[in-house]
Amino acid sequence: MKILIVEDNRHLVQDMQEFLQENGFLIEKAGFLEEARQKINLYKYDLIILDLGLPDGNGLELIPEIKRNDPSAGIIILTAKDTVSEKVKGLEMGADDYITKPFHKAELNARINSTLRRGKFDGNSALEYGHIKINTSARQVLVNNTPLNLTKIEYDLLLYFMYNKNRMLTKESIVEHLWGDRIDESDSFNFIYNHIKNLRKKIQKLAPVNYIHSMYGIGYKFSDKEQD
Amino acid sequence: MPDFQSYKLLSKTTLIYLLFTLTAFLVSAFFLTNEADEYINKELEGRFNHTEQKIRRAIQQKETERAKRYAEITVLNQKPADFSLITYSDTLITDSEITERDFFRKKTFYMEQDGSFYKVSILKSIGDFYRLRDDIFEALLPAFFVLVIVIVVFNYFLSGYFFKPFNLILNHMRAFKVGQKKVDHVETSTTEFIRMQNLFSKMVNTIDEDYNNLKEYTENMAHEIQTPLSIIRNKTENLLADEDLMAHHGHDVKTIFDETNYLSRLGQALNLFTKIENREFSNPQDIKTEAVIRKHLSAVNDTIQMKNIKVETELSATHTLFLDPSLLDILLKNLLRNAIQYASSDGPLTVATTADSFTISNYGDPLPFPEEKLFIRFQHNNNSKKSLGLGLAIVKKICDLNNLNLAYNYHEKQHIFTIRGNLMSSVVP
């Protein structure tokens, strides 16, 4: 999977690059609108992460060109401007999703995966890890080939874990993924705790391994390896 | 407002003008009566002289009896001590012929003829002269009053005409909003108004410039500060994932992570605040709230369940708010978040709308701080250090900028927020 990151902040690009490479993506970078334009016209990308505030223009300009060159390419808008109109404009022009700075890398990873999944595999792909299989289009979960009944939140939580397996996810990142800013953090950590407890119990009934590990009270890690 | 009374400019100038006119009238009246007196004196002196000559002639010709027809003549035995003295006196005398009291002037002098001394007193009627003088004075007063009435009436009618451009300019000033590029020009030929208008335009330009600078600064800040924060957060997440490091510095890294998150959320919330204040959400429209409220309620459904709160709704199909749709979303999101956060399970969280009001209420302990501070930024319960304390301030700001009346009440263990609206009739001033 090849991803083009169009973003002018080198630190951020480098950080994203390292992270996404660890997740098995091929990364190319462009710091300017013109540079990005050239790359889009020369190469094919599965997904383009597009910052809107570029030094030589607004990233929105690129969307029609991307769509013209390769309609199947996914586009995720990356912006600090959380103005609704900018986002809406981007989505209307053909972007698949948006993510607002500052974001959790795990969140970006989840968005990338779900965008790619929708585009490339017509939503039919199955995610598999250890004893767990998820059919994302049917929203169906199998543990040890037995269907697992999950609430909507538990399903979203599991999917988020599956996209970011073997990586510690902070509670903040999980809360933001599940509820955005609809919830006050003082409340939310208890909710997370309860949901995770339930999810863990449900999986453990069918699988011999504990997948969800609590990490120093900061977050959780989804892994089939036992933690110490 | 100053506590002394204010008066219209035109009333003031009229009053002052009238005072000056009154003075001018009084001065001219004084001057005219003086002139009249002088004339009377001169005229009388002529007549006195004429009679005096006749009397002198008569006495010279020894015809004292004839002279007595003109004046009262007394023969004196010796030369009076004040022989050369001439006296005048005004007296009121009843004329024997017309039996009417009238003013007379008496001139008394002495004369010598062939060793005899005479005291001569001549009387001349001056009543007519005095009446003439009074008439002059009396004619001036009515003239003054006519002038007063004419001026007041004219001012009353002209003020509307002359001050029309002034009031128009004032209306433009009142309607002026930051970010508004142009102010309509008012046509006027009055120098003062032109100057005022020019100054106002200049101020608008300056305000506009300042506003744009500030806006640009805010936007740049929003953009520029979020990226470094993003990097700090990501790097910290890398540290969090390092198990060796966490074993030694777990607490420190966690603190950095928490504070960075707080800063980042704070920045976003303040940006939102600025955007609302700058009226960047400026697409107000009549929105039927029922569907929107239901959408928001279902979005927080699971948090409500987790907190074990019951929700009761009583939504009116006709309740409408005139608001930008994004602002309505922000408003509802914040009110709901606040209600859920502080709700106790003593009773239901209620969302109700009627034809003209929106109410959200939750059970809970009374506020630990004075009610007036509820909508102030960064005012929050001490036990929730993590909340920003901006939610209700944002709600308040949205209501203020959109002519919505937001009220808070604590009644029977319930925190009640009510928004009464601008309804459909809301015309942005």
Q: State the pLDDT at residue B353.
A: 93
**Same domain, yes or no, for B139 and B31?**
yes
SS3 (DSSP) at B4: coil
Rounded Cα distance between B220 and B223, Å, is: 5
Give the closest of B237, B265, B326 to A170, CB-based.
B237
Same domain? For B262 and B289 the reply is no
Which residue from A minimizes the CA distance to B308? A191
Rounded CA gap, A98 and A90, in Å?
A: 8
pLDDT over threshold 90, residue B304:
no
Under an 8 A CB cutoff, do A184 and B341 touch? Answer: yes
pLDDT band (50, 70, 90) for residue B113: confident
Within this chain, do residues B150 and B16 fall inside the same structural domain, yes or no?
yes
A152-208 tens-digit pLDDT: 889 999 999 998 888 888 888 898 888 877 777 667 788 888 899 999 999 999 988
- Domain stops at, among B113, B128, B158: B158
Contact B234 A12 (CB under 8 A): yes
What is the residue-wise DSSP string for B355-423? SSEEEEEEE-PPPSS-GGGTTSTT---TT-TTS-S-HHHHHHHHHHHTT-EEEEEEETTEEEEEEE--T
Task: Give A9-28 pLDDT, tens digit per residue.
Answer: 888 898 889 889 988 899 99
pLDDT of residue B426: 41
Q: For residue A129, which of A150, A144, A117, A116 has the smallest C-alpha distance?
A: A144
Average pLDDT over residues B277-297: 88
- Interatomic CA distance for residues B401 and A221, integer angstroms: 46
pLDDT at B14: 85
Q: To the nearest whole number, what is the mean pLDDT of chain B?
A: 83
Chain B partners of A167 at a C-beta cutoff of 8 Å?
Answer: 241
What does the pLDDT average to over B386-404?
84
| Same domain, yes or no: B267 and B212 | yes
Residue B396's domain is classified under what CATH number?
3.30.565.10
What residues of chain B lie within 8 A of the CB of A12, using their CB?
Answer: 227, 230-231, 234
Rounded distance, CA A218 to CA A192, Å?
A: 12
Q: Which of A12, A156, A186 to mutate to test the interface with B (most CBs of B within 10 A)?
A: A186
Q: Which of B219, B221, B226 to mutate to test the interface with A (most CBs of A within 10 A)?
A: B226
User: Are both B269 and B332 inside the same structural domain?
Assistant: no
d(CA B266, CA B389): 10
Q: Report DSSP state, residue A227.
A: P
Structure tokens at B422: 């601008």
Residues B181 and B118 reside in one and the same domain:
no
pLDDT for the residue B428: 42
Mean pLDDT of all residues in B8-31: 86
Q: What's the pLDDT tens digit per position in A75-100?
A: 999 876 556 677 788 888 889 998 88
Q: Inter-chain contact A182–B299, Cβ cutoff 8 Å?
A: yes
pLDDT higher than 90, residue B22: no
Q: Is B240 on the interface with A (CB under 8 A)?
A: yes
All residues of chain A having their beta carbon less than 8 Å from the beta carbon of residue B341 are 184, 186-187
Each residue's pLDDT tens digit, B209-229: 888 888 778 767 766 787 788
- The structure tokens listed for A226 are 């036992």
Please check whether residues B124 and B260 belong to one and the same domain: no
**A2-120: CATH number:** 3.40.50.2300
In this predicted structure, what is the pLDDT of residue A147? 92
**Are A183 and B300 a contacting pair at CB < 8 A?**
yes
Of the listed ranges B111-120, B172-181, B321-330, B398-407, the one predicted with least confidence: B172-181
Amino acid B381: pLDDT: 59
User: Which residues numbered 68-87 in A keep a CB inside 8 Å of some CB on B?
Assistant: 80-84
Question: Which range is most confident: B244-253, B299-308, B403-412, B418-427?
Answer: B403-412
User: How far apart are the CA of B167 and the nearest CA of chain A, in angstroms?
Assistant: 38
In a domain, B55, yes or no: yes
Give the closest residue to A27 by CA, choosing from A37, A10, A13. Answer: A13
B303 in the same domain as B413: yes
Q: What does the pLDDT average to over B62-88?
A: 82
pLDDT for B227 equals 75
Q: Residue B366 above 60 pLDDT?
A: yes
In this complex, which of A15, A101, A216 lies closest to B246 when CB atoms are compared? A216
**CA proximity to A171, closest of A220, A121, A109:** A220
The CATH fold assigned to A126-222 is Arc Repressor Mutant, subunit A (1.10.10)
Q: Which residues contact A197 (CB under 8 A, 6 or more apart)?
A: none
Q: Do B227 and A12 touch (CB under 8 A)?
A: yes
Q: Can you give the pLDDT at residue A82?
A: 57
Per-residue confidence (pLDDT) for residue B95, from 0 to 100 = 63
Here the ipTM equals 0.70
Q: Is the pLDDT of residue B385 over 70?
A: no
* Chain A residues near residue B336 by CB distance under 8 angstroms: 182
CA A47 to chain centre: 12
Write down which residue in B251, B280, B309 finishes a domain.
B280
Hey, is the C-beta of B227 within 8 angstroms of any chain A C-beta?
Answer: yes
Rounded percentage of chain B residues whose pLDDT exceeds 90: 14
Mean pLDDT of chain A: 86
Residue B243 to residues A23, B199, B239, B248: CA-CA distances in angstroms? 19, 67, 8, 9
- At B429 the pLDDT is 38
> How many structural domains comprise chain B?
3
Chain A contact present for B50, CB below 8 A = no
Contact between A102 and B264 using a beta-carbon 8 Å cutoff: yes
Backbone dihedral region for residue B95 (phi beyond 0: left; psi -120 to 50: alpha; all else: beta): beta
Between A147 and B381, the higher pLDDT residue: A147
Which amino acid would we find at residue B422?
N
Q: Please count the other Cβ atoms lying within 10 Å of the Cβ belonging to residue B95.
A: 13
Q: Is residue B150 part of a domain?
A: yes
* Residue B273 half-sphere exposure toward CB, CA atoms < 13 A: 18
Domain locations in chain A as residue ranges: 2-120, 126-222
**Is pLDDT above 50 for B424?**
no
Single-letter code of the amino acid located at A30? A
Percent with pLDDT over 70 in chain B = 92
- Based on the fold, state whether residues B355 and B295 are members of the same structural domain: yes
Say if the Cβ atoms of B234 and A81 lie within 8 Å.
no
Over range B164-172, report the average pLDDT.
Answer: 88
Tell me: do B135 and B197 sit in the same domain: no
Mean pLDDT value of segment B402-407:
90
Option in B222, B280, B303 nearest A183 (CB): B303
- pLDDT category, A124, cuts 50, 70, 90? low
Is the pLDDT at B425 greater than 50, yes or no?
Answer: no
pLDDT band at B96 (very low <50, low <70, confident <90, very high): low
Extended beta strands in B220-261, E state: none
Assign A109 to helix, strand or coil: helix
Domain-ending residue, one of B158, B182, B201:
B158
* Residue numbers in B near A181 (CB within 8 A): 265, 333, 337
Separation between Cα atoms, residue B67 and residue B63, nearest integer Å: 6
CB contact under 8 A, A80 and B223: yes
Q: What pLDDT, on the 0 to 100 scale, is given for residue B401? A: 87
Q: Note the pLDDT of residue B98.
A: 61
- Name which of B215, B219, B227, B386 to mutate to probe chain A: the one with the most chain A Cβ atoms within 10 A of its Cβ: B227
pLDDT exceeds cutoff 80 at B232: yes
B259 and B147, same structural domain? no
According to the per-residue pLDDT averaged within each range, which of A31-45, B165-179, B238-252 is highest?
A: A31-45
Compare CB distances from A104 to B237, B241, B299 and report the shortest one's residue: B237
Nearest to A187 among B240, B326, B341 (CB): B341
Residues spanned by the domain of B351 = 285-420
The enclosing H or E element of B117 equals: strand B116-125
Q: Specify whether B177 is located in the same domain as B143.
A: no
Which of A115-124, B228-237, B255-264, B291-300 is predicted most confidently?
B291-300
Counting one residue from A and one from B, how many pairs have CB atoms under 8 Å apart? 107
